[in-house]
Amino acid sequence: AQSVAQPEDQVNVAEGNPLTVKCTYSVSGNPYLFWYVQYPNRGLQFLLKYITGDNLVKGSYGFEAEFNKSQTSFHLKKPSALVSDSALYFCAVRAISGGYNKLIFGAGTRLAVHP
């Protein structure tokens, strides 16, 4: 079955420290992977994507993600967390079903950055 898992419901980190939000996936074929962020009472905003090329992908707001094919992971990272990074983060993977592509989302990880 095609799926994506975010093993942590919440990640707590101190401001200025590095952060990692984990994501693993299971899809057939080459994976197309995405990270989105959601702030309170808003829709999801695109952060970054991996389709092909370098395993380290850079995105918006200083975030980056590392694609690891052998571990089927796509962890989101940032070298120095900000309080304003506190939000809900979703990993997503393209799935092919019935001849069409669609996105499957993980359950989300809440990031809390403490001053």
Partner 1 sequence: NAGVTQTPKFQVLKTGQSMTLQCAQDMNHEYMSWYRQDPGMGLRLIHYSVGAGITDQGEVPNGYNVSRSTTEDFPLRLLSAAPSQTSVYFCASSNREWQPQHFGDGTRLSIL
What is the C-alpha to C-alpha distance for residues 115 and 109, in angstroms, rounded to an integer? 19
Residues 4-23, interacting with partner 1 (CB under 8 A): 6, 9
Strands 109-114 and 10-14: parallel
- Of 50 and 113, CB closest to partner 1: 50
Tokens 């990692």 correspond to 20
Beta-bridge mates of residue 49: 34
Residue 49 engages partner 1 in binding (rule: CB under 8 A): yes
And the tokens for 102? 């669609």
Cβ-proximal residues to 60 (8 Å cutoff; 6+ apart), any chain: 45, 46, 47, 48
- Of 43 and 115, CB closest to partner 1: 43
Q: Shortest approach of partner 1 to residue 48 CB, angstroms? A: 9
Per-residue binder mask for partner 1 (CB under 8 A), 50-69, x = binder: -x------------------
Q: Contact residues for partner 1 (CB under 8 A)? A: 6, 9, 32, 34, 36, 41-46, 49, 51, 90, 94, 98, 100-108
